[in-house]
Amino acid sequence: MTMLHVLMISTALLAQEPQLARTTLRPPRVVAESVSVPNLIDSTLVAAALALGRLRLATGEIVYVERAGPPGLVVSHQPPSGTLVPPGTPVTLRLSTQIRFVRVPSVVDSSLARARVILREAGFRVGRIDSLPDPRRPGIVVRQIPFGNDSVSPRVAVDLWVARRVSVAEADPDAPVVIPQPAPETVVTTAPERTDTGESTVVQGGPRRWWIPTGIVGGGIVLLVLLAKLGLFARPKADGPSPHTPPTPPPAGPPLELKPHRDSGTATVDRGDPAASDGVRLRAVVDRGTPTIDPNQRITEEEAP
C-alpha cells in the first residue's frame, strides 16, 4: 500500500465522522409487557405456584378432577402453556385427585320401602321409580340402575323399577285398552335432584372448587335412564297421561357440537373442547347378515310340490 492509498483512506474516514456523530441511539419503546404461560402439566401444586410466581403470574382457581393416575398433579391449566398474558394474570389449575367409588348395594328382590332404607343407609339417594309388569311379585324391586355391586360415586342416585300387576291390556293384546292405574309405589315420589349426574360442583371455603365427576360408567348409565325419562326415547302412549313429573331440562354443560354422519353410519360427538377434540365417537357398524335357506325347501312354483 502506497502512501497515497493511506492518505485516501484517512480522508474518507474523516469525511464520515460528522455522519456518525449525528446518529442517536434511542431506547426501545415498551408497548405492553407480556409473559408466556409455562407448561405446568404433571407439576405439583407447590411447584406450579412457584413457577407462576417466578414469572409474575398468579395462581388462580384450583379445580380438583378425579383421575385414574397419581393424585395431586396438574392435569391441565387455563390459559394453556405458551399463551402470552399480562403479568399478574391468574392461571386456573386443574389437579388430579383419586377416584372414590363406592359399591351400590343390591336392592333387587327387596320391597320398595326396604330398598329406600338400604340405599339411604349406604349413602345413596333414590332416583326415579318406575314399574315393570310382573304379576308374581307386585311391589318388589325387580331392576336397579346402577346395578348392585357397581362401583360408582356416592352422589349417584339409584333408579328403581318395581314390579306391578299386569293390566288387562298387557295380558291380552286383543282385549280392549284399559288405562292402567299406577300402584302407589310406581308414582315418582322423588324429584330428581340431578345436579351431580357425572359431575358436581361443591364450593368449599372460598374460591376453591371441587369438580368431581361421579364416574363415567355410573354416570353414563344413570344418564341413559335420565335420557329415557326425559322422553328422548319416548313413544306415544295410548294408556293415558304419564304419572311422572314433567321432565327436567338437561344440565347445562360445555358447548356441544353434534356431527351425525348418516351416510357412513357413524355419529361423532364433539364437546367443542380443542383439548379433547378427539373425544368419544360412537360408530354404528352394520352387519348385512348371514341369510340361510333350507336347500330342500320348495321355493319356486315351477318345482313339484
Contacts to other proteins from residues 167-226, by CB under 8 A: 197-199, 213, 215-217, 219-221, 223-226
Comparing CB distances to other proteins, the nearer of 124 and 161 is 161
The site map against other proteins for 143-162 (x = CB under 8 A) is: x-xxx--x----------x-
Comparing CB distances to other proteins, the nearer of 206 and 295 is 295
Rounded to a whole number of angstroms, the minimum distance from the CB of residue 153 to other proteins is: 12
The site map against other proteins for 228-267 (x = CB under 8 A) is: x---xx-xx-------------xxxxx-x-x-x-x--x-x
Rounded to a whole number of angstroms, the minimum distance from the CB of residue 146 to other proteins is: 8
Rounded to a whole number of angstroms, the minimum distance from the CB of residue 119 to other proteins is: 18
Closest CA to 212 of 152, 160, 172: 152
Site for other proteins in 68-127 (CB under 8 A): 68, 99
Q: How far apart are CA 244 and CA 226, in angstroms?
A: 12
Q: How far apart are CA 6 and CA 185, in angstroms?
A: 114
Size of the site for other proteins (CB under 8 A): 74
Q: 297 Cβ partners below 8 Å, 6+ apart?
A: none
Comparing CB distances to other proteins, the nearer of 13 and 227 is 227
Q: How far apart are CA 61 and CA 79, in angstroms?
A: 12
Q: Are 152 and 215 in contact (CB under 8 A)?
A: yes
Rounded to a whole number of angstroms, the minimum distance from the CB of residue 155 to other proteins is: 11
Per the structure block, which three cell numbers stand in for 16?
A: 464520515
Q: How far apart are CA 164 and CA 137, in angstroms?
A: 7
DSSP 125: E
Rounded to a whole number of angstroms, the minimum distance from the CB of residue 244 to other proteins is: 13
Separation in Å, CA 218 to CA 196, 199, 221, 244: 11, 11, 5, 23
Comparing CB distances to other proteins, the nearer of 91 and 225 is 225
Is 167 strand, coil or helix?
Answer: coil
